[in-house]
Amino acid sequence: MYIRFLTVIAIISLLIQGCKQAPEKNVTLSGTIINIPGKQLFFYQVFPSSQPLIDSVSTDATGNFTIELAVEKAGFYVLRLNGGKEVTFVIEPGEKISLKANFDSIQRAYFIQGSPNSELYAQYHLFTSENLSKVDSLSAVFAESRNTTDYQSVKNELDEAYMDIFNRQKDKVVSFVGSHLNSLASLLVISNNFGPNPLVTEKTNPDLFLKLDSALFQAYPENSLVNDFHLKILSLKTGLAGKAVLDSLLAPGKPAPEITLPNASGKEVKLSSLKGKLTLVYFWSGWNALSRQNNINLTSVYTKYHNRGFEIYAVSVDPDTELWQKACAIDKAYWINVVDVKGPGSEFSKAYGVKSLPSMILVGKDGNIIVRQTEFLELEGLIKKNLY
Contacts for 340 with CB less than 8 Å, ≥ 6 apart: 261, 315, 316, 317, 318, 346, 348, 349
* pLDDT surpassing 90 at residue 149: no
User: Do residues 109 and 133 both lie within one domain?
Assistant: no
Who has greater pLDDT, 93 or 1?
A: 93
Under 8 Å between Cβ of 317 and 349: yes
* 299/282 Cα distance (integer angstroms): 13
DSSP code at position 24: P
* Stretch 347-363: mean pLDDT: 92
**Residues 296-305: tens digit of each pLDDT:** 999 999 999 9
Is 197 in the same domain as 282? no
pLDDT at 152: 87
| Helical ranges in the chain per DSSP H | 2-21, 116-145, 151-179, 185-191, 206-219, 224-249, 289-305, 321-331, 347-351, 376-387
Percent of the chain with pLDDT over 90: 75
7 part of a folded domain: no
* Domain containing residue 32: CATH number: 2.60.40.180
Q: How far apart are CA 313 and CA 303, in angstroms?
A: 14
Same domain for 106 and 34: yes
Q: Is the pLDDT of residue 13 over 60?
A: no
Assess whether 266 and 379 both reside in one domain.
yes
Indicate whether 240 and 149 sit together in one domain: yes
Answer yes or no: do 219 and 134 share one domain. yes
Q: Which of these three, 84, 114, 144, is where a domain ends? A: 114
Question: Does any domain span residue 155?
Answer: yes
Q: Is 138 exposed, middle or buried (0-12, 13-18, 19+ CB in 10 A)?
A: middle
Category of 353 on φ-ψ map: left (φ > 0), alpha (ψ -120 to 50) or beta? left
Q: Say if 192 falls within a structural domain.
A: yes
The pair phi, psi for residue 157, each rounded to 5°, is -65, -40
Instruction: Check whether residue 290 and residue 362 sit in a common domain.
Output: yes
Burial level of 213, CB count in 10 A (0-12/13-18/19+)? buried
Confidence (pLDDT) at 4: 54
Domain end among 249, 279, 309: 249
Q: Judge if 360 and 378 occupy the same domain.
A: yes
Looking at residues 235-264, what average pLDDT do you find? 85
Indicate the number of domains in the chain.
Answer: 3
β-sheet with 27-34: strand ranges across: 64-69, 27-34, 96-102, 111-113
Q: Is 52 exposed, middle or buried (0-12, 13-18, 19+ CB in 10 A)?
A: exposed
**312 lies in the same domain as 380:** yes
On average, the pLDDT of the chain sits at 90
Q: Are residues 132 and 245 in the same domain?
A: yes
Report yes or no on 229 lying in a domain: yes
- For residue 86, being part of any structural domain is answered with yes
Chain segment 304-320, per-residue pLDDT in tens: 999 999 999 999 999 88
| Residue whose C-alpha is closest to residue 82's, from 62, 99, 107 | 107
Q: Which of 51, 82, 114 is the last residue of a domain?
A: 114
Q: How confident is the model at residue 6 (pLDDT cuts 50, 70, 90)?
A: very low
Range of the domain at 383: 260-387
Within a domain: residue 79?
Answer: yes
| pLDDT in the model for residue 5 | 47
Is residue 372 within 8 A of residue 353, CB to CB? The reply is yes
Q: Tell me, yes or no, whether 267 and 377 share the same domain.
A: yes
Q: The CATH number of the domain where 369 resides is what? A: 3.40.30.10
Query: Over the stretch 64-91, which tens digit does the pLDDT of each residue have?
Result: 999 999 999 999 999 999 888 999 999 9
pTM of this prediction?
0.62
Whether residue 235 is found in the same domain as residue 280: no
Q: Among residues 93, 87, 90, 79, which one has the least CA distance to residue 116?
A: 90
6 within a domain of the structure (yes/no): no
Integer Cα distance of 190 and 3 in angstroms: 61
